[in-house]
Amino acid sequence: MVRVLVVEDERDLRSAISQTLVEEGFVVDEAADGKAAIFKATAWDYDAVVLDLMLPIKSGWEVLDALRKVKATPVLILSARDQVCDRVRGLDGGADDYVVKPFSLVELVARLRALIRRAAGNAESILTVGDVTINLSKRTVEKSGRPVVLTAREYAILELLTLHRGKLITRSVIYDHIFGEDDDSLSNLVDVHVSHIRKKLGSDLIETRRGQGYIVND
């Protein structure tokens, strides 16, 4: 599970995009104007931002510029502006992808997943750690070739740690990626979920760095 910020001023379209992403296992936050988008995108660590260009208060161009001054968060521009000059401006301005409206929600999800994988240094949709195989597209897990059923949040933690394998991921980062901005779940659930993952996939898969966080080693 990854956390995405959807920035779109059209309520129905924003709702449709968010609902589709949630159904695909994403945690989604929303912003309806450029000012809110800048605040959220710079205050929290998102795996990606879906950004409309024609926004009230602050334009999508201003949001992109503000974000790029402080973060390298992957940005997928979603806009009705279909001129080549707009696409060039968006990509040269720091966007990672540019999708023109109208668009397919299925394609949007696929592009987001690919963008997030590339940002994490994983071009492939199949990740393997020891005898554990994770299919990012199908969101399935196997151990020694046998399917293992994980809950949505167990899978989210495993996916996050595996995408960034070799890097220490703090509990607060895991929590921010699993729980949405309106979620009141307790933070100690991260430790509980990690314990369940170990029971299903092996105690040595995820290493605990006491007082710091967790890491999946290559």
Q: What single string gives the DSSP state of each residue in 63-126?
A: HHHHHHTT----EEEEES---HHHHHHHHHTT-SEEEESS--HHHHHHHHHHHHHHHTT--SSE
How many alpha carbons lie under 13 Å from residue 107 in its C-beta half-sphere? 9
Signed CA dihedral, 209, 195, 122, 99: sign only: negative
Other Cβ atoms less than 10 A from the Cβ of 107: the count is: 10
Residues 6+ positions from 182 with CB-CB distance below 8 Å? none
Q: Residue 185: is its pLDDT beyond 60?
A: no
Is the per-residue pLDDT at 184 higher than 60? no
Round the average pLDDT of the chain to a whole number and report it.
88
Inter-residue contact 174 to 168 (CB < 8 Å): no
pLDDT band at 182 (very low <50, low <70, confident <90, very high): low
User: What band does 63 get if pLDDT is binned at 50, 70 and 90?
Assistant: very high
* pLDDT above 90: residue 52: yes
CA distance 113 to 58: 27
| Lowest mean pLDDT across 141-145, 148-152, 187-191 | 187-191
Q: The whole model's pTM is what?
A: 0.70
Q: What value does the mean pLDDT take over residues 132-139?
A: 85
Contacts of 58 (CB under 8 A, 6+ apart): 33, 34, 35, 37, 38, 66
Contacts of 128 (CB under 8 A, 6+ apart): 134
Residue 187 has pLDDT above 60, yes or no: no
